[in-house]
Structure 1
Amino acid sequence: MLILLLGYAITHSVHGEAGPIPASIESCDVASCDGLNSQRSIWSIIWSCLSTIFLCTWVAVHPNVHFRPEKRSQGWLEKWLWDPLHDFVTYKLVLFLWALLVPEYILAWAVRQYVKAGAISKEVPEWTRTHGFFMIMGGFHLFRLPADARSTPFPLKSSESSDFVISTGLHLRRDEIPVCPLKLEDFPVDILKGITPGETELKDKGKSDALTKIIVLVQTLWFVIQCIARGTQRLPLTELEVVTLAYAMLNFFIYAFWWDKPRNVECPIRVYKASAASHKESGKSADIWHDWSLPWLENIIYYTTGRQDRFVTVSERPSIPMFWSGRMADRDLGLAGLGPSILGAAFGAIHCIAWSSEFPSRAELVIWRVSCVGMIVVPFLVAMVCAGWANGRDGTLPLWFQFLLLASLLIGVPLLILSAWLYLAGRIATLVIAFSSLRSLPPAAFMTVDWTNFIPHI
């Protein structure tokens, strides 16, 4: 539905009132345009914005390992068409839509993984944050060897016993049976030290490097500089450029927290157990979902605060969950969500740059302003919930401050539940209006920045 609306908006904007704009620009008073003579087309605006949004919503996302076991006797149509298409629709497209509609949640996910990866890196000698990221994202997967495969127990320096083995015979890799992803608690430290590649090898498994990330950041930074330059020369920004500017702001933070995480890893490291060995997930067992009459209400609360991982049994999954960050304490979850929520409110506030812009109709102006308010208020409510969740039960805080945090939690949760739909509607509305408003732009919006004004000269 969203794609159809955006397609209609682009077509209507280009074939609507975009045609006579160059004539309007030619009739623009030179003095009123500060001597600017160069012009930009509507297509250059669309291309610049869409390429930047794509970088911020597709390239910037570092997914977990979406492991897909190899299939036997697979036809070429299934291998080259159906499986890639199914993977794209059910996984990559879903992540793209999340990043497009709720970019603050992607940022919160990145922050949670950053915090958890740092904690994991301290538990294993010589591990870095990259190793921690690789563990969280499902980089280690348990396989059972075929019944006739030869193996030897993994040698351990400590007195711990382990069912992990080393394959010592020859067999086909496709005969190995995938079991489940592994968590840090499933491993003795000696095994991790023996099977884990170095940091450079882990980064090599990713589909991007530091140069690629720098290019993305430079492209995004260049767009931001252009927007600032237009503001200094009092040239209007289109609503599409305002939306893109908001994405660019969050993109910097997402990239910063995921800088050390390998991107688009599809094949995890195989860890073996004998065919007759059983596997029981180590660590704290998953919590039981409450039998609520409104399960969607529970999902909103848990996914908003990042507590959904507590209800996941990884040993029952063929691959790591999409938004898995590892189980964290309530205080850590609250603190990890507080910053992204505040930045989410700033993301909505950036849209207010177009608060007094010239919209093609009064209805679009009203919808834009209401959407801006919703995109500021809802993340602010999430920040209230995270603050109360993180410190509401901290006995070291003053009593009045604990009461204030508890009140923010009690007020924020009901309001968040009631207004969550407003945020999503506001995001869709601003995206559609950003394209539909291109059909009627002021002449100055087509003027390019005169960069010579920024160069000192006599």
Structure 2
Amino acid sequence: MGGFVLKADGVEPCPLNAKQLHWLVMNHHIDYPAITTAEIWDKSKQDGIAKVITSVQAAYLIVECIGRATQCLAITTLELNTLAIVTCTLMTAFAWLHKPADVRTPFFVSTSKHIRDIIGNRSWRNTPLDSIDDNGPGWSMNVQPFMRMPVIPSQRPIQRIPNDRFPMNPYGAQEYCFCFATLLFTGLHIAGWNFAFPSQLERILWRVISLILFGVTAAFWALETMASWVRLGR
């Protein structure tokens, strides 16, 4: 991620997200990029036919499992787990419907100003425009450093916005889609509550893990909602 890269004196080129780009334009630090929709999609490596085939295969599995369930035919735990993953796949395809895929060469936006004239003396961790939007929270930028996992790039400013970035104010179709997909994923595992298992121990393990999975997911969304209210001053 990071389709736009800022070039300014006093700092290495760094990626911009939408909020940072908007701030730079509105404060007259850069001109509005004269880029067409066709130019954006021309950078996408997305194969429409492959997406259609994948979606049809995923939809077929969903319809097949629903049909077997209505006829009271057996569904294995492996099929149920696959069904949960496939459901998330379709949700991801919907969320990324208008997202160019595998873009490797960004659009560069330049300014004659020095970076200090843009941000002043503000400190930053990932890019000079962290004070506008810090590209977080996310697994690679927040959780991994907290767990002392040295796997994130050491170069600063960062050269790529991580794929796991979670916008600070993400309320919209993608947010609700994500919430529904995760709860559905965990809920489908609970659907195997009364499945036949080789042993009583395996049945108990399936039920316990399914409840933990659903409970952790529900708790995440409850805490994330409260955190969002705090961030938005509600």
TM > 0.5: yes
Give SS of 2:131's match.
coil
Deviation at 1:178? Answer: 5.6
Code of the aligned partner of 1:347: F
What residue ranges of structure 2 are gaps of 5+ in the alignment?
120-128, 147-154
Mapped contact 2:29–2:111 kept (Cα < 8 A): no
What per-residue deviation string (whole Å, max 9, x for no partner) do you get for residues 313-333 of structure 1?
Answer: x9721222332355x34xx56
Distance 1:233 1:227, change over 3 A: same
Match for 2:4 among 133, 137, 140? Answer: 140
Give SS of 2:114's match.
coil
CA–CA distance in 1 between the matches of 2:30 and 2:172?
Answer: 33
Give SS of 2:75's match.
coil
Code of the aligned partner of 1:372: S
Alignment of 1:224-235 (within 5 A): 224-235=62-73
Deviation at 1:262? Answer: 0.5
Mapped contact 1:223–1:245 kept (Cα < 8 A): yes
Code of the aligned partner of 2:115: H
Deviation at 1:371? Answer: 0.9
Distance 1:350 1:241, change over 3 A: same
Match for 1:345 among 163, 183, 190? Answer: 183
Deviation at 1:341? Answer: 3.5
2:87 maps to 249
CA–CA distance in 1 between the matches of 2:15 and 2:200?
Answer: 53
Give SS of 2:72's match.
coil
CA–CA distance in 2 between the matches of 1:346 and 1:203?
Answer: 32
Give SS of 2:13's match.
strand
1:128 maps to none
Deviation at 1:200? Answer: 2.4
Mapped contact 2:91–2:181 kept (Cα < 8 A): no
Give SS of 1:355's match.
coil
Distance 1:216 1:393, change over 3 A: closer
Match for 1:321 among 144, 148, 162? Answer: 162
Deviation at 1:374? Answer: 0.8
Code of the aligned partner of 1:260: H
Match for 2:31 among 180, 188, 191? Answer: 191
What per-residue deviation string (whole Å, max 9, x for no partner) do you get for residues 216-270 of structure 1?
Answer: 2111101111111222332211111101111122222222221101011111123
TM-score scaled to structure 2, two decimals? 0.68
Distance 1:379 1:339, change over 3 A: farther
What per-residue deviation string (whole Å, max 9, x for no partner) do you get for residues 94-134 of structure 1?
Answer: xxxxxxxxxxxxxxxxxxxxxxxxxxxxxxxxxxxxxxxxx
1:266 maps to 104
Match for 1:285 among 108, 131, 134? Answer: 131
* Cα RMSD for the two superposed structures: 3.9
Mapped contact 2:7–2:13 kept (Cα < 8 A): yes
Give SS of 1:271's match.
strand
Distance 1:342 1:335, change over 3 A: same
Distance 1:240 1:320, change over 3 A: same
Matched, 1:180 2:180: no
Match for 1:208 among 46, 59, 66? Answer: 46
Deviation at 1:378? Answer: 1.1
TM-score scaled to structure 1, two decimals? 0.38
User: Percent same amino acid at aligned positions?
Assistant: 28
Q: Which has the larger radius of gyration?
A: 1
2:227 maps to 389
Deviation at 1:336? Answer: 6.8
Give SS of 1:191's match.
coil
Code of the aligned partner of 1:192: Y
What is the number of equivalent residue pairs in this alignment?
A: 202
Alignment of 1:293-442 (within 5 A): 299=142, 316-326=157-167, 328-329=168-169, 332=170, 340-391=178-229
Code of the aligned partner of 1:181: P
What residue ranges of structure 1 are gaps of 5+ in the alignment?
1-63, 65-137, 145-162, 164-176, 289-295, 304-313, 397-458
